Amino acid sequence: MAIATKSSIAFLLISSLLLAPYLSVSEATVDAPVPIVSGLSWTFYQNSCPTLEFIVRNYLMSVFSTDIGQAAGLLRLHFHDCFVQGCDASVLLDGSASGPGEQQAPPNLSLRARAFEIIDELRNRIENTCGRVVSCSDIVALAARDSVYLSGGPYYGVPLGRRDGLTFATLNVTLQNLPPPTANASTILSMLATKNFDPTDVVALSGGHTIGLSHCTSFTGRLYPTQDPTMDQTFANNLKVICPTTNSTNTTVLDIRSPNIFDNKYYVDLMNRQGLFTSDQDLYTNSTTRGIVTSFALNQSLFFEKFAVAMIKMGQLSVLTGNNGEIRANCSVRNAGNKSYLASAVEELPVEEARSEF
């Protein structure tokens, strides 16, 4: 299955050159065979919102031209959305039905506030052009793909047609589904195996850590009270300057070689014992995954291909399609919780009307 057309790539390259010549854009297009779940399609918004992908890409190019760091925030948002209760935009919901929900779980506390705003801004732009037809979960998936691509990574097609969830994810469900950075390879492999990811997928997805930042508290357990012996000594010394105590509020880059470029240097870091988290470094320590790390460090095209395959898989985890879920009018709240939406929906039937087109 061809995942990207030549003309869409030509548009990407030309518009990238015109509008953001300093962004590092690779020419890699991944043409990978990945099964698509029923209800999603490559052409879902072809009639109802043909300019969807251009709107997303052009807006993100303008955001990234002043702050490429936001690409990492958007990529991580998609990962958190999909791993917890499926790619249903539950990660975007404010508050919860009762008690703390997904947003209150420790992993959320370091999601970038700006990433949530960018999704809202994209949603507003899309609604202005196409009406309320595109789900927040599809917007998150497209934003993650363009974040990868506009940072220098592979371009891959995103099957669309996700619907936004009606249920909050509980704190426990969130914690059970997002592995902690202290986990070893064995734990990461078995947690991700429950979602049908094989070791190649796991190593490839972890390559998302080729861009972005971490807070000290996510890794100072490897520095204090005793230093993790698998960590390179110079790297450890530098981290101790950045994070003088276990609870330091500082941040540092995930990939010291090329922190803002989506490339295969993360795997080179691991081979040099400069992985930031145990969950990263143990992929090289453990013999089950070590060879995969090495192969990605030696061959960036291979990494890009496997990453794209794993992302398309991740983007389809427990998706809602067809008549399930809804198209939210505000990514932070369910339509049922929005009195003005209910009032307008009676008059305009916007969701059903839009859906009858496909």
Ligand X SMILES: *[C@@H]1O[C@H](CO)[C@@H](O)[C@H](O)[C@H]1NC(C)=O
Among 159, 161, 165, 179, binds ligand HEM (CB under 6 A): 179
Distances (CA, A) of 107 to 72, 82, 178: 15, 14, 8
Please give the Cα distance from 93 to 338 (Å, whole number): 12
Q: Does 185 bind ligand HEM (CB under 6 A)?
A: no
Phi, psi of 66 (to 5 degrees): -105, -20
Distance in Å, CB of 60 to ligand X, minimum: 18
Q: Which residue has the tokens 């890794």?
A: 219
Rounded to 10 deg, the angle between the 278-285 and 199-206 helix axes is 130
Whether the Cβ atoms of residue 217 and residue 247 lie closer than 8 Å to each other: yes
Q: Cα–Cα distance between 161 and 146 in angstroms, integer?
A: 17
Q: Is 15 a binder of ligand X (CB under 6 A)?
A: no
Residues of this chain, 207-226, that bind ligand HEM according to CB under 6 A: 208-209, 211-215, 218
Which two structure tokens, joined as six digits, stand for 111? 């999601």
Residue 255 annotated as part of some ligand binding site = yes
Alpha-carbon distance 207 to 205, whole Å? 5
Interaction with ligand X in 177-196: which residues (CB under 6 A)?
A: 184-187, 189
By a kind-dependent CB cut-off of 5 to 8 A, residue 73 interacts, out of ligand X, ligand HEM, none, with ligand HEM
Residue 209 marked in a binding site = yes
Applying CB under 6 A, which part among 7-15, 43-51, 201-209, 248-256 lies near ligand X?
Answer: 248-256
Binder of residue 206, out of ligand X, ligand HEM, none (CB less than 5 to 8 A by kind): ligand HEM
Known catalytic residue: 215? no
Q: How far is CA 32 from CA 54, 201, 221, 269, in A?
A: 22, 13, 39, 27
Strand-pair partners of 215:
251
From the list 41, 96, 167, 299, which residue makes contact with ligand X (rule: CB under 6 A)?
Answer: 299
The one catalytic residue among 57, 76, 78, 80: 80
User: Strand locations in 122-280, DSSP E?
Assistant: 213-215, 251-253
Start-to-end Cα distance in the chain: 21
228 is in an annotated binding site: no
Q: Does 247 bind ligand X (CB under 6 A)?
A: yes
State which of residues 248, 272, 294, 324 lies at the interface with ligand X (CB under 6 A).
Answer: 248
Please report how close the Cβ of residue 191 comes to ligand HEM at its closest, in angstroms: 8
User: Cα(285)–Cα(316) distance, rounded to whole angstroms?
Assistant: 30
For binding to ligand HEM (CB under 6 A), which residues are involved? 72-73, 75-76, 79, 110, 112, 179-181, 188, 205-206, 208-209, 211-215, 218, 254, 277, 279
Active site positions, annotated: 80
Q: Which residues are annotated as a binding site for substrate?
A: 179
For binding to ligand X (CB under 6 A), which residues are involved? 94, 103-104, 108-109, 111-113, 116, 172, 184-187, 189, 242, 244-248, 250, 252, 286, 288, 299, 301-302, 305, 329-330, 332-333, 338, 340-341, 344
